[in-house]
Amino acid sequence: MRMWSPLTQNERLLLPGTITPEERPEWLDFGRRLIECQRHEDGLLNARFQGFMVATAFLMAAVSQFREAKYLPIAGLISLAGLLLSTGAYQILGRTARTIQWYLDVLARLDLLLYPNPSQRLYDSRTKLLGELHTTPSPAKYPVSVLLGVWVPVVVSIIWVVLLLSLWHIHRQLTLH
Half-sphere exposure of 136 (CA within 13 A, CB side): 4
What's the mean pLDDT when you consider all of the chain? 85
Reported as a single tens digit per residue, the pLDDT across 96-137 is: 998 998 898 888 888 888 888 877 777 776 666 655 544 444
Is the pTM higher than 0.95? The answer reads no
